[in-house]
Structure 1
Amino acid sequence: MPARAALRNNRLATLPDSIRLMRELRQIDLRGDPVTTLPESLITLPRLEKLDLRWISTLDPPRWFSELEATGCVIYL
């Protein structure tokens, strides 16, 4: 079963940089959270396949998103 972090609708503004330690994480769902920043360390997650950021109007997509997509991660904005 894929490792998931379903964190949607929890009023999160960011994720801790320590998320980089979750090496088996495949999906992160932050839909509806008022996210303003994300740690660049998400790029280092080797199995991350999906980053769901739909329904978020508070985040300007960072430049490193293209690097994350290049690793095979699909980003839903």
Structure 2
Amino acid sequence: MSAGLDRVRRLLDTPPPPRVPGQVAINLDRPPAEEKPPPSCDTGNPRCGARPVRFYAAGWRCDDHRPSTYRPE
């Protein structure tokens, strides 16, 4: 068991490999995220649009339109 630990320690102490020729650096800077409006109730036609809402398996729902299995008795 100690031989395996010694091998891992040696591996961690080795310097990283040199850069590969032709390797391109990728710019990871992302543009700022678009401002999205907060979700609203998507029940009905036209949509209810009430806020605040919670996400259920049926979609974003307000308290009046939440699924019946979640309603308190």
**TM-score normalised by structure 2 residue count:** 0.16
**Larger proportion of strand:** 1
* Structure of greater Rg: 2
Q: Which has the higher contact order (CA 8 A, sep 6+)?
A: 1
TM-score between both structures, scaled by the size of structure 1: 0.16
